[in-house]
Structures are given as structure tokens and as C-alpha cells.
Structure 1
């Protein structure tokens, strides 16, 4: 990734009409499917990172970190986004986002986008974990966690552990037309 990719992430987040997104439920089906894809991708990354770590990333004492955590810090603990981009994102979130969880996720996505190509070199072509989650925010934004589920009003996704999501079927397309078609079914 690069500063340019990090800039694109901040621009994407800043372009979201958070109020409209948080009040819209028309993309519940596709948002739930995108959330499943995020969980699958994050689980694949956790599985890969576990191979290089002597201690588990998530054990009983750390279960609160899954599924919305700063994955970039596990890839490269020294990763820091450009300070101006981080300040721009923080200012935008302070004014427009109503959720602490949303802010935490957006900052984690910025950290991910700030990873150097060298930091990611040993992981082959694993997918960007935050891409589907940013699409959730762009398309609807509104979800909450309750009783072991991520809830989108009309659709729910079982939270589970990361191990529960590793073998999930991938979402074959993140294309907006394909996502819109899911919502029409």
C-alpha cells in the first residue's frame, strides 16, 4: 500500500453521507453479505498471522478484539498513517460519524492502507480485508452488534470466532451492480 492508497481511503470515507447511510436500510442484504466477506477476509489474515506468532492473536482473554481490530498493527507494529491524513480523518469522523466503533474501524482501515508493500510482501496475494467493510459504510453504514450477531435490521450475520469464518465461501464480486441485484432479490 502507500500514502496514495491511504489518501484514497480517507477520500472514500469522507465522501460518505453518514446521516443518509445510517438512516437507510435498502442495502441490508448486500451489506450483510459484505460483512460476511469482511469476516472471511479478516479470518484469513488472522490465520496467516497465527503461523508466524508464538502466541495466539485472539485467545479467551482477548476475544473483544475480534472482529473489528487494527489488523495492520499485527502485520507491522510500526505502521503509522501520514499525520495530515490521520488528522483529516479524525476531523471528519468527529463531525459526521455517530459511532465510536465506526471511528475505530475507519482508523484501522487507514492504518491498513498505510502499510508498505514490504510489510505485505510475505503474505502473497491475500485480499484487502477492509474493502468490503468500507463498502458497507458507503452503502448503508447502519449496523449494530447484539447477542452474538451483527444486525442490519432486515439481515443478520452471526459474529462467531475468527475460526468460524475462515472457510466461508468468498463473495465473488464487489461490483455495485451485483450488490444492488442482491438487494432486489
Structure 2
């Protein structure tokens, strides 16, 4: 369950933020790449990059009241950053939607997985006017078109990400 996965994220691990700064930046860029393709596929470019793709695919989709309350409580107690909370909510909606939908979806990579891996490697981010602050490293904000790349920016394999962190450190 996606909410259980979020519950194990240590949002306050300052050491991991710095230890994994290079891989976290690459994961943020990979999230942008994947979400750019999803945004293009569902005419959601105006909402990119931090949005709930499920609401663009099926606006009628909702979580059960109990589950939504549980998610709201978790986010309210643990995630104070609006863009992070929005992506966590999007990831949970995505997981629940995918598990029960019969809507035909394009063959695109999971839009939220890079961010989830980034969270697991050291918490959150904040959005500034010209960059995304990952604490320890920043990612410049580029237009959606800059991310419509066919190939991944980084593989999500832990060994690849660890090697990236070690090569810079």
C-alpha cells in the first residue's frame, strides 16, 4: 500500500539529504521527465510538474472517506510542504486508481516512482521562484518541453543511485 510506503520515509533525516544530494537531484529531474510525458498525454501541461495526474485522467475518482481521512491525517502531521503533500496525495491516488481502473492508459513509466525513491533517500523539497531546493542541492526549473526526453535521466536502481552519490562525494 502506498500510504505504508510513505509512512516509512524519514522526513527529518538531515544526513541522508546531504549524503544523497546528487541522486536526489537526478531523481527529481527523472520525475519531471516522466510527469512531462503524462502531462502531454492528458493535456495537463498547465498543471505540470507537481500535480495529481489521476484528477486529469478521471476527475470523478476519489479515495474512500476513511482512507482519505487517514491520508490527510498523515500528511498534516508529517508533511508540511504543499508541493510535497500534493505529490504524496498524487502517488496514493495513482496507486489506488491503477489498482481499480479499467481505463486504458498510455504505456508510460510510473509518474511518481522517482519522487518516492527521492523521498526514501532523504525527505522533501521546496519550490522557489527559479529552482527546486532539495536541501544540499538545487534543481533549476526548466520548461516542460526540456523534459520530453525519450530515455530516463537516471535508473532507479539503488546501486546506480549509490554510485552516483559516491562519484560526487
TMscore range, shorter length: 0.7 to 0.9
Alignment equivalent of 1:118, drawn from 96, 102, 108? 102
CA distance in 2, matches of 1:184, 1:22: 14
Equivalent position of 1:44 in the other structure: 37
Show CA shifts across 1:26-50 (max 9, x none): 1110011001110000011112123
SS across alignment from 1:67? coil
Contact 2:17 2:134 in 1 (8 A): no
Sort the Cα spacing of 1:127 and 1:23 in 2 relative to 1 into closer, same or farther, 3 A. Answer: closer
1:135, distance to aligned residue in structure 2 (A): 1.1
Number of corresponding residues: 165
Distance 1:45 1:113, change over 3 A: same
Q: CA deviation at 1:173?
A: 2.2
Q: Secondary structure at the match of 2:110?
A: coil
TM-score normalised according to structure 1 size: 0.79
Tell me which of 5, 8, 13 is aligned to 1:12.
Answer: 5
Using the TM superposition, give the Cα deviation of residue 15 of structure 1 relative to its aligned residue in structure 2, in angstroms.
1.2
Distance 1:98 1:22 in 2: 19
Aligned to 1:138: 120
User: Partner of 1:150: helix, strand, or coil?
Assistant: strand
CA RMSD of aligned residues (A): 2.1
Whether the 8 Å CA contact 1:49–1:75 is kept in 2: the answer is: yes
